[in-house]
Amino acid sequence: MKHTLSRQLALSIGFLTVGFLAVSPAFAGQDCECLGNGKRIKEGGVICLQIGSSQRYLARCERNLNNTSWKKISDGCPVSQMSPWTSKPPAPTHG
């Protein structure tokens, strides 16, 4: 009787331990970040990754199996340009 009780207690503790270990990784890393271009980017953030001296592409920080990684969105990166012609604001009118 005493042997059966000890065995049940040991099994219960074992199952609880396994259950705790299986569930705990799901709670890890709620504020995940990726490292890119020397900066930390939060999960969901999008940046232009510079790989070497010539390769650049748009990528999003995502989680894959509880690890963060970069997902390529598109080749190249968007570029904004300023117009060489700047318009002057209208002259103030006094009246």
The model's confidence at residue 75, banded by pLDDT at 50, 70 and 90, is very high
Q: Is residue 81 left, alpha or beta, with left meaning phi > 0 and alpha meaning psi from -120 to 50?
A: beta
Global pTM exceeds 0.75: no
Residues sharing a CB contact under 8 Å with residue 55, sequence separation 6 or more, in sequence order: none
34 C-beta neighbours (distance < 10 Å), count: 23
Per residue in 8-66, pLDDT tens?
644 445 443 434 434 434 444 568 899 999 999 999 999 999 988 889 999 999 998 88
Specify the pLDDT at position 43: 94
What is the pLDDT, as a whole number, of residue 17? Answer: 42
- CATH no., domain 30-76: 2.10.70
Is residue 93 very low, low, confident or very high in pLDDT (cuts 50, 70, 90)?
confident
80: which 2 tokens?
A: 């904004």
Predicted local distance difference test score (pLDDT) of residue 89: 62
Q: What is the DSSP letter of 53?
A: T
